[in-house]
Chains A and B, each alone.
Chain A
Amino acid sequence: MRKLFILLMLCFVCLMLSLLVYAELEDPSTAEDYYTRFMGQNISLNVYNWGEYISDGNYDLMNVNAEFEALTGIRVYYTTYATNEELYSKLRGGGASYDVIIPSDYMISRMIIEDMLEPLDLANIPNLSEVGDEFLNPSYDPDNRYSVPYMWGITGIIYNTTMIDEDEEITSWDILWDQRFMGQILMFSNQRDAFGIAQFRRGFSANTTDPDELKACLDDLKEQKLLVQAYVMDEIFDKMLGGEAALAPYYAGDAMIMMEENPDLDFAIPEEGVNFFVDAACIPKGSRRKQAAEMYINFLCEPEVSAANSEYIGYATPITKALELVDEEFAENPIVFPSEEILANTETFTSLPRETNLLLDGYWTQLLSSDENYSRLLVPVMLFSGIILVVGINVYRAMNKKKKQKYYF
């Protein structure tokens, strides 16, 4: 009886051990239940992405969020922002809790430096192997510890062919400073891209920290402001499609979408160089569903998903296998997938030191508001006298009231 018991115990221990070993060997990528392991647990994810930056089921393409929900049983709450800076201040301001965000390269490295991102568990994102080698270990995030590339692209000038001379060939950013197009130019409403253009035009590095160079760019942009119709981000779709403006710098992918809807539009890549950007998925600090978030990022890297996204938003996918899945015409589009030559003449934005960021912030506000000389004492004095005046008036009124009451009673 005792022997039998020991034997049973041994069997049991062996079984447990083998289970343990099996569990350790189990690779999430091959696990059948990788996508279904959170099924029925009522989990939700807050995804924060650029506007118009995911396939939502239109044009017979996949509805990515719905597919993900159906596959995993995880609810996706999807919201959007218009600029990297908006995302940054939303996260810095606190109060908001997001699980997946998709910032651009320079913002990712800024967030890494400021310790705002959660390191990824790459074992949980097996599809990282699908990402093309040239997009791995980027300068903004060596080793891909914090980010997985989502889309990439370049900037350029989108223009309305009916509004400029036929034989005019756009080869330079200078055209955005051309007097002939006064009031017909749209401009980026975010500082990094706007200053980037001025920097490329002057031949400075797009990541310059030299205050003199930045000041020169600010002066250029101020000069340009007289010609600019409006500073826009996503509003550009409305304005360019409606023929409101002749010229606008924008991202190639969006430009392609606009060109499909309005055949008068065309796209040019200035010779001075353009910005090459990568937008990548990250998990911000404070995410409560890290594993589910990693699952979502992994899902974005599925070739079918990435192909659908790429075709829908018009940006280039970094997933090698997805290139075979997209429409052939799309894959050969030189705007979306520019030639090596053009790519050689691009520069990526990197994170700037704190002082430069502050300087740029100040310059940007100055550009959009005004730059008249002012007295540093003006506002404190005004504020102070204002307070005194308000208090004084009310004290005076109260005294008056008392006097009157004397007469009444």
Chain B
Amino acid sequence: MKNKSSAFPYGVWMVIFIVLPLLLVGYFAFTTEDGAPTMENISKVGEFMPVLMRSVWYAVVATVVCLVIAYPLGYLISRGAGSRRRTLLMLVILPMWMNFLLRTYAWMTLLENNGLINRFLGFFNVGPFEMINTSGAVILGMVYNYMPFMILPLYAVMSKIDQTTLEAAQDLGSSFVSTFARVILPLSMPGVKTGIIMVFVPSVSTFIISRMLGGGGNLLIGDLIELQFLGNAYNPNLGAAISLVLLVIVLLCMSLLNQFGGEEEMEGALLDK
């Protein structure tokens, strides 16, 4: 902080790899193929409104499911003793050692009509259930892939809650429910916020998952963008416009989130968790 010149490389890095690309996205979104200014691309995004809404909806559901599963887990890990805590943390991170695509591909084999789960259930004459190519499968894919991003910040925040604080609450006659509501929850709020952002943002812009687990007939906004850049319909201008709209939606959601418990202590939840 004191020596500003040491921040210079980071500044250059940010300009080249964050600011410039953003400006380029903006430039492409508001120009035609020949570089003439236009609003056509942005207007055209309206055509994909249902896709956009569906993506946001799926991402919200996935985030909520992640939060519900990860919260108790994060608490358990943070209360565990040294070696147990390390093992559990390791187990959370372990799947991330495998490639994202492979993990999703594995779910395909699991969920298929003749897949492992249905075959297993077949032994008990249950099913087969139609699991692959449904919206449930897509959300499952998101929850599975982004779960660690929810658990880790929750764990980080909760491990800072001193055991003595909880004991103090109990000494003062607070029940488990009120300890949770008045001590644990408020203290873990920064982690919840970070977790929500870390899961929601990649979920809303995810691609491939819907193609692999959702059958490719129900595109999400990420697939749509991919289609414009790497897929059949090569149209970077439209792709940039969709990205820009998505960006604004994400910013909007994040700033809405920041309104909750917008006290001073919650500021910079992302930074000092």
Contact = CB atoms under 8 A, between A and B. Distances in A.
Whether chains A and B associate is: yes
Interface of A: 83, 85-86, 88-90, 92-93, 183, 189-191, 225, 228-232, 235, 238-239, 242-244, 361-362, 364-366, 368-370, 372, 374-380, 382-383, 386-387, 389-390, 393-394, 397, 401, 404
B161 interface: no
B127 to A, nearest CB: 15
Main secondary structure on chain A at its contact with chain B? helix
A287 B235 CA distance: 24
Given A231-B217, A370-B50, A89 B252 contact: no
A379 B114 contact: no
A374 B45 CA distance: 10
Interface centre among B47, B212, B227, B262 (most CB of A within 10 A): B47
B43 interface: yes
Contact of A397 (B47, B114, B262): B262
Interface of B: 39, 42-43, 45-51, 108-109, 112-115, 130, 132-133, 212, 215-217, 219, 223-224, 227, 229-236, 244-245, 248-249, 251-252, 255, 258-259, 262, 264
A394 B251 CA distance: 12
B6 to A, nearest CB: 28
Nearest to A88: B234
Contacts of A190: 232
Contacts of A243: 114
The 8 closest A-B pairs by CB, nearest first: A230-B215, A361-B233, A231-B216, A85-B232, A89-B234, A379-B46, A370-B50, A374-B46
Nearest to B262: A397
Given A370-B50, A374-B46, A379 B133 contact: no
B261 to A, nearest CB: 13
Contacts of B224: 365, 369
A225 B217 contact: yes
A397 to B, nearest CB: 7
B49 A378 contact: yes
A386 B245 CA distance: 9
Contacts of B249: 386
Contact of A230 (B216, B231, B262): B216
A394 B46 contact: no
A378 B245 CA distance: 12
A364 B223 CA distance: 13
Contacts of B235: 361
B242 to A, nearest CB: 10
B233 A369 contact: no
Given A361-B233, A365-B224, A393-B255, 7 more contacts: A85-B233, A86-B232, A242-B114, A368-B227, A369-B47, A379-B45, A390-B255
Contacts of A383: 42, 244-245, 248
Nearest to B232: A85
Main secondary structure on chain B at its contact with chain A? helix
21 contacts: A83-B232, A89-B230, A89-B231, A90-B230, A93-B229, A183-B130, A191-B232, A228-B215, A229-B133, A232-B216, A242-B115, A244-B113, A361-B235, A365-B48, A365-B233, A368-B216, A370-B48, A383-B42, A383-B245, A386-B252, A389-B255
B216 A362 contact: no
B192 to A, nearest CB: 20
B227 A365 contact: yes
Contacts of A232: 216
A288 to B, nearest CB: 24
A370 B132 CA distance: 20
A231 B215 contact: yes
Nearest to A89: B234
Contacts of A382: 245
B219 A379 contact: no
Given A230-B217, A232-B216, A380 B47 contact: no
Given A244-B113, A393-B259, A379 B43 contact: yes
B31 to A, nearest CB: 16
A244 B108 CA distance: 11
Contact of B229 (A89, A230, A361, A401): A89
A372 B43 contact: no
B231 to A, nearest CB: 6
A379 B245 CA distance: 8
B73 to A, nearest CB: 32
Nearest to B29: A383
Nearest to B130: A183
Contacts of B219: 368-369
Contacts of A85: 231-234
Contact of A380 (B43, B109, B216, B231): B43
A103 to B, nearest CB: 14
A89 B48 CA distance: 21
A372 B50 contact: yes
